[in-house]
Amino acid sequence: MPPRCSVIFGEEFTGQDMGFHVENSRRLLDAVRGIPSGVRIRPPEAAGRLDLERVHTSRHIRMIEELCGYEGKHYLDMDTFITGESFKLALLAAGSSIAAARLALEGEHSFALVRPPGHHAEPDRAMGFCIFNNAAVAAAWALEQVDRVAIVDWDLHHGNGTQKIFYRSDRVLFCSIHQANLFPWTGWIDEIGEERGKGFNLNAPLPPGAGIGDYALIVSSVFCKAIRHFRPDLVIISAGQDPLADDPKGGMQLVPEDFGVLTTMIQEASGSPLALVLEGGYGPSMGLAVGSILNVLQGTPAPPRDAPVRESTRRISSLLARVVF
């Protein structure tokens, strides 16, 4: 019998749209079009204020709520905008991420196809299109039920917000693979956590041009081994598909099928259902990548592809292995 698999999505997530802004509803609809048949669509769920306060300051939450009470559209920084719909939409994105975590703990793979994304949002700051940190909110909720959570972030950009939130925690293993020297200009190898969290934060900043050989080496030889050692009760994937070769935001060389390969590796290392939360992804083939991920979650593993690995990636893998093993 194939594993249970669902997507959390609602038309509500097509709101807060400035049209010309790259973080728009079209990118989400592209992702939804990639959902294979047989995947159950579940409705969104809203987070409560307590859910947000596990990772965000009350001042930040209150500021977003109050600003969204004004008419019109407003920029919080050069990239991040809000409208009158944004607070409600951000609550749905965070709550649906919690729902994906809950479903995974109940035995069902679940992918929260939500917007706005979240992994750049810090405890007291919205940035990089992100208002609240959806994956971190879900992880913090899960830590009320279980002992350990792992978060794997394969978005093109480093998940600085998620890292900052859990940087001193030994209950969250954070693993990020991303393009180096790109917004938000964090996520270097020596950022390994502090105090009790030292060694529980792993960053693999890869130069532009990395392909599946590079990604697969880091994920299999570092992240998956760390997951097996850490033995998390839940694995959350911050799933940004902007490392695709046709994505306008970066310079990586993945193709849609490669995300199935990465999902297979992480699922096998975890040994339990995954919770995924949509982050970035702005290119025309994002829907195909989402379809590849969901095909794996429905029970069709994607075998590794023979692909070259750059020497710089081997060096990064070796350096990270010294941190973990």
> What residues does each domain of the chain span?
5-324
Cα–Cα distance between 51 and 56 in angstroms, integer?
9
pLDDT at 25 (0 to 100):
82
pLDDT in tens, 182-192: 999 999 999 99
Averaged pLDDT, 141-155:
98
Residue 225, burial from CB neighbour count under 10 angstroms (0-12, 13-18, 19+): middle
CATH topology of domain 5-324: Arginase; Chain A (3.40.800)
pLDDT at residue 264 is higher than 90: yes
Mean pLDDT score of the chain = 94
pLDDT of residue 157: 98
Q: DSSP assignment of 171-219, as one string?
A: SEEEEEEEESS-TT----TT----GGGTTSEEEEEEPTT--HHHHHHHI
| pLDDT above 60 (res 325) | no
Strand, helix or coil at 84? coil
Q: Known catalytic residue: 229?
A: no
pLDDT value for 20 = 65
User: Among the options 60, 109, 120, 158, which is catalytic?
Assistant: 120
Q: What is the pLDDT of residues 29-65, one digit of tens each?
A: 999 999 999 999 999 999 999 999 999 999 999 999 9
